Structures are given as structure tokens and as C-alpha cells.
């Protein structure tokens, strides 16, 4: 498509969420709202709960929506799907933009692919708008911050954009999706996924999110809870909210004020969030309980102190145990995120994790396999175990599927991963029976199994 042809096009973009899970990412809705506010028409589509191995599904959708510019939201867990979508989109002569491909190594990898025209950095809600404005007006893109394109066929990245205050952004474009058909599932029932902050002050060696989202920034409590009320008013089915902030509990005063505001407005919905062990204290748990917080998911990741150290966690197993006990005392379910396949992990470390799980008895276990994303400290360690970094998207895809073979104890790691998955799915099923009854719980279990199967077929459940 020539520049003249683009300039004559309607200001329209199709945003695609390639994930397997049902909820389009909050950030995509935020970007959509920014575009709409600035006069660009937006359509959102997703392929949730569908295997895209057969490209016909993608082709049909792209043809039926008939928009020339497509923005595909980057989620490394959906990498194979993204590849299928960009190939098909290019085949149909679309302009292909990868949204939020994060840090420099990944942006360049995308730009080396002939199917990709542009990339935007993650943690940046404004770059796509500036990029589209340049496309529609034919202006020079080199001055637009936070994007990448090809200059004489070579990947070129512009300067980083400063992080924007979340209060300056419009409310995410919830109206572009049918909220009730995009609810996640938890033991508390159909769940809305939201965020009230971005970024994280910690520095775990395996975490890409910290790299891409930057330092912590908060939305005001008023704006956050106005949005909770808005979203609940638009849903007939939601029974819970998952605040997906990377570290929801980091600022104790804010947490207390947030809970007080929920209580003041008489919002009684069940909710849960992520937390760090060292951020939690008794006063906070008491308040969380009052505000109907039902669960906290802790990124403990391993029961081996040696592995914990490698991950950059500075907390003792004893402290973790105490916090889990305290949560249970206040009737808040402590969930445990576990990463398996850490470079240097031995069978005895896996055993220690298993033993630790038996001691702290988490209400939920969320198992992941380590994914060595370029740019991470832990990835450099993985290289000393034989990992070679891919030079193209195709190589990346192949290496992701081969990755488990690089784990120091591949068989044991995979066995334990599946064991924890099965344990957790069954536990969630029996727990949900209490809250949701047999019919909904069975639906929940089937959904879990379906998602898991799709992940195995289409990619794997890596922790990034």
C-alpha cells in the first residue's frame, strides 16, 4: 500500500488480542480509548478459546472486518498465535503493527520480520496514536517516541517516551467489548480483570513486566473506583474483580484508603489481587478483609532458598509461612505462584518446593515454566546452560517449544509442572463448588482444561 493510498483511507484500526484467555488486556482497552478520543475509529477482536493452528479462522475474521491497519497486542505467551496472525494479515495486504512489544531486543526481532511494518513499546499508551497520526498525514516518523519501523530495510527504534500519568488517560474503552462475554473465571465466579496502577518498584531477575512497565505509577483512588462502579453497572454476570496491578499492595496507605473508599461506596463485590510477602502486614489484612478481598496471589516462585536468591527475592521462607498463616487467619486465601525450570534448579530444589507447598498449604497454586526473555538477568544465566538467543521470529518460536529440553532436569520439571496443574485444577473445582454450585463449577473446570489444552497445543504456560 502506498503512502498516498494510506492518506486517503478512513482513520480506522483493528486491534487484535491474540491471547487464549478470555479477557482482552486492560492496556489494549486503554490504548483504544486514547485513539477514540483523538478521532480514530477502533474495532477490537480476539481469538479467545480458539486454536489458530488452522489459519482459516484468522483469514475469515480479517476479511469480514475489512480494515487495512491491524494492531496486534503482544503477549509472549501467545507468540505462536501472533505469528499466524501477522502472516495472514500481510497476506491480505494489511499494515501490521505490533503493539507493546516492550524492550528493544524484542522490538528489533519483530522488525526483522517481513510481515511486520511497525512496533510500539509497551507501558506506553500514546505511541500508537502518534504513529497512526504520522501514517495518516505522511509526516516523518523518526520524531515519534516509543516506536520502531524499518529504515532502508533495517530496524530503527526511536527514543523512549516518558511514562504518562495514569490520571491523564481516558477510561479504558470498555464499551468496545461485551464485558459479560469477556469475563475470566475464578472460584468466586465470573471475574472482571482491571488495573489501578502500573509498574513495579522491585527487580526480580526473571521478570519482563518490570522492564516493560517501568516504575510504579498510580491511578487516583477516585478514578479507579469510579471505573469499578462503571464496569459493574455494565455487567450482569460479574461476581468478582481481579485487580491485576503488578504490586497492588505496595503502598500501605493507598491500600487502606482504597479499601475505605470501597466500603464507603458500599461496593460489596469479591475481589483479589497480587501481593509481595514483604508488603503485607496485619493492619492491612484486617482492612482487606473488611473490604471483601478474598485472595492474594504471592509470587513466591520456589521453596528453595538457593533458587529464591537467583530470582532476586529477598524474603525468608519463614516470613512467607507467617504471612500465609496470617492471611488464613483473616480468611483471605493465599495463592502461590511457582516457577519451574530455573537455570541451575536441581531435583532437590524441586523437592524443596514440593515440601514447602505441603507446609504452607496455599489455597491455590499457579505453576509456570521459566521463559528466558532476551534482556533479563536470568536469561544471561540460562545462556551459560546452553541457551542461544533466536535471531528471527521463526527461530524464537522453535526455541520456545524446545525450551523445556534445556531445563537442568527436563523430565522432572515437566512432571512436576503437570502435577501442580492437575492438583490446582481439581482443588479449584472443589473449592468453587461451595460458592458456585455444581453446574458453574463444572463449567469452570472444563474451561480450565480447555485453556490448558490450548496452551499445550499452541504454546506453553511460561512465566514472564
Measured distance CA(279)–CA(359) in Å, rounded: 22
What kind and span of H or E run contains 240? Answer: strand 240-243
Asked if 71 interacts with ligand SF4 (CB under 6 A), we say: no
Residue 279 Cβ vs ligand SF4, minimum distance, rounded to whole Å: 9
Q: Can you read off the three cell numbers belonging to residue 122? A: 509497551
Residues 137/141/143/149 CA torsion (nearest 10 deg): 160
Measured distance CA(211)–CA(109) in Å, rounded: 17
The residue (of 94 and 276) whose beta carbon lies closer to ligand SF4 is: 276
- Return the closest-CA partner of residue 179 out of 197, 168, 192: 192
Asked if 207 interacts with ligand SF4 (CB under 6 A), we say: yes
Residue 216 Cβ vs ligand SF4, minimum distance, rounded to whole Å: 9
Asked if 202 interacts with ligand SF4 (CB under 6 A), we say: yes
Out of 299, 334, 335, 372, point to the residue binding ligand SF4 (CB under 6 A): 299
From the list 118-126, 198-206, 342-350, 383-391, the region that binds ligand SF4 by CB under 6 A is 198-206
What is residue 171's DSSP assignment? P
Asked if 200 interacts with ligand SF4 (CB under 6 A), we say: yes
The residue (of 216 and 232) whose beta carbon lies closer to ligand SF4 is: 216
How many secondary structure helices (H) and strands (E) does the chain include? Answer: 16, 17
The residue (of 120 and 197) whose beta carbon lies closer to ligand SF4 is: 197
Measured distance CA(237)–CA(228) in Å, rounded: 14
The residue (of 242 and 429) whose beta carbon lies closer to ligand SF4 is: 242
Gyration radius (Cα) of the chain, Å: 22
Measured distance CA(255)–CA(150) in Å, rounded: 44
The residue (of 42 and 166) whose beta carbon lies closer to ligand SF4 is: 166
Out of 276, 294, 310, 368, point to the residue binding ligand SF4 (CB under 6 A): 276
Locate cell 496452551: which residue?
455
Residue 213 Cβ vs ligand SF4, minimum distance, rounded to whole Å: 8
Measured distance CA(186)–CA(76) in Å, rounded: 23
Out of 246, 320, 336, 365, point to the residue binding ligand SF4 (CB under 6 A): 246
Q: Contacts with ligand SF4: how many residues (CB under 6 A)?
A: 11
Residue 205 Cβ vs ligand SF4, minimum distance, rounded to whole Å: 9
Residue 379 Cβ vs ligand SF4, minimum distance, rounded to whole Å: 14
Out of 27, 94, 161, 210, point to the residue binding ligand SF4 (CB under 6 A): 210
Asked if 204 interacts with ligand SF4 (CB under 6 A), we say: yes
Residue 198: phi and psi, rounded to 5, are -135, 155
Q: Is 380 helix (H, G, I), strand (E, B) or coil?
A: helix
Asked if 219 interacts with ligand SF4 (CB under 6 A), we say: no
Asked if 300 interacts with ligand SF4 (CB under 6 A), we say: no
Q: Residue 426, Cβ neighbours under 10 Å: how many? A: 12
Asked if 247 interacts with ligand SF4 (CB under 6 A), we say: yes
Measured distance CA(229)–CA(376) in Å, rounded: 38
The residue (of 84 and 276) whose beta carbon lies closer to ligand SF4 is: 276
Asked if 209 interacts with ligand SF4 (CB under 6 A), we say: yes
Measured distance CA(345)–CA(413) in Å, rounded: 9
Residue 80: phi and psi, rounded to 5, are -60, -40
Asked if 368 interacts with ligand SF4 (CB under 6 A), we say: no
Q: Residue 72, Cβ neighbours under 10 Å: how many? A: 25
The residue (of 262 and 339) whose beta carbon lies closer to ligand SF4 is: 339
Q: Footprint of ligand SF4 on this chain (CB under 6 A)?
A: 200, 202-204, 207, 209-210, 246-247, 276, 299
Amino acid at each position: 500500500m502506498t503512502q498516498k493510498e494510506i492518506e486517503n483511507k478512513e482513520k480506522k484500526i483493528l486491534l487484535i488480542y491474540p491471547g487464549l484467555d478470555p479477557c482482552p488486556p486492560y492496556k489494549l482497552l486503554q490504548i483504544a480509548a486514547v485513539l477514540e478520543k483523538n478521532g480514530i475509529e477502533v474495532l477490537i477482536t480476539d481469538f479467545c478459546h480458539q486454536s489458530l493452528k488452522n489459519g482459516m479462522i484468522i483469514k475469515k475474521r480479517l476479511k469480514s472486518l475489512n480494515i487495512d491497519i491491524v494492531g496486534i497486542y503482544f503477549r509472549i505467551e501467545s507468540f505462536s498465535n501472533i505469528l499466524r496472525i501477522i502472516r495472514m494479515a500481510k497476506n491480505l495486504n494489511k499494515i501490521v503493527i505490533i503493539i507493546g512489544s516492550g524492550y528493544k531486543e524484542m522490538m528489533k526481532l519483530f522488525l526483522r520480520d517481513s510481515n511486520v511494518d511497525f512496533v510500539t513499546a509497551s507501558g506506553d499508551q500514546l505511541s500508537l496514536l502518534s504513529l497512526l497520526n504520522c501514517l495518516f498525514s505522511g509526516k516523518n516518523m523518526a520524531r515519534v517516541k516509543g516506536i520502531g519501523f524499518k529504515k532502508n530495510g533495517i530496524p530503527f527504534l526511536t527514543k523512549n517516551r516518558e511514562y504518562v500519568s495514569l490520571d491523564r488517560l481516558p477510561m479504558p474503552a470498555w464499551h468496545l467489548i461485551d464485558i459479560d462475554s469477556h469475563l475470566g473465571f475464578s472460584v468466586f465466579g465470573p471475574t472482571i480483570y482491571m488495573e489501578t496502577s502500573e509498574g513495579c518498584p522491585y527487580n526480580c531477575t526473571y521478570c519482563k513486566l518490570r522492564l516493560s512497565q517501568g516504575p510504579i505509577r498510580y491511578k487516583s483512588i477516585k478514578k479507579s473506583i469510579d471505573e469499578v462502579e462503571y464496569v459493574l453497572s455494565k455487567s450482569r454476570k460479574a461476581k468478582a474483580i481481579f485487580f491485576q496491578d503488578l504490586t497492588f499492595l505496595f503502598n500501605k496507605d493507598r491500600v487502606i484508603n482504597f479499601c475505605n473508599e470501597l466500603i464507603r461506596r458500599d461496593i460489596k463485590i469479591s475481589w483479589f489481587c497480587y501481593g509481595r510477602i514483604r508488603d503485607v502486614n496485619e493492619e492491612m489484612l484486617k482492612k482487606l478483609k473488611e473490604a471483601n478481598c478474598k485472595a492474594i496471589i504471592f509470587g513466591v516462585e520456589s521453596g528453595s532458598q538457593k533458587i529464591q536468591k537467583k530470582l532476586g527475592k529477598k524474603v525468608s521462607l519463614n516470613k512467607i509461612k507467617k504471612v500465609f498463616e496470617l492471611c488464613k487467619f483473616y480468611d483471605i486465601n493465599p495463592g502461590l505462584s511457582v516457577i519451574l525450570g530455573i537455570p541451575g534448579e536441581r531435583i532437590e530444589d524441586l523437592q524443596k518446593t514440593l515440601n514447602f507447598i505441603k507446609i504452607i498449604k496455599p489455597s491455590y497454586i499457579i505453576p509456570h515454566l521459566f521463559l528466558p526473555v532476551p534482556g533479563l538477568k536470568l536469561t544471561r544465566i540460562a545462556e551459560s546452560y546452553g541457551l542461544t538467543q533466536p535471531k528471527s521470529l521463526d527461530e524464537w518460536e522453535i526455541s520456545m517449544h524446545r525450551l523445556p529440553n534445556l531445563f537442568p532436569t527436563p523430565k522432572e520439571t515437566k512432571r512436576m509442572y503437570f502435577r501442580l496443574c492437575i492438583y490446582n485444577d481439581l482443588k479449584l473445582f472443589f473449592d468453587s463448588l461451595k460458592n458456585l454450585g455444581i453446574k458453574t463449577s463444572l463449567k469452570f473446570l472444563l474451561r480450565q482444561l480447555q485453556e490448558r489444552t490450548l496452551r499445550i497445543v499452541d504454546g506453553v504456560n511460561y512465566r514472564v
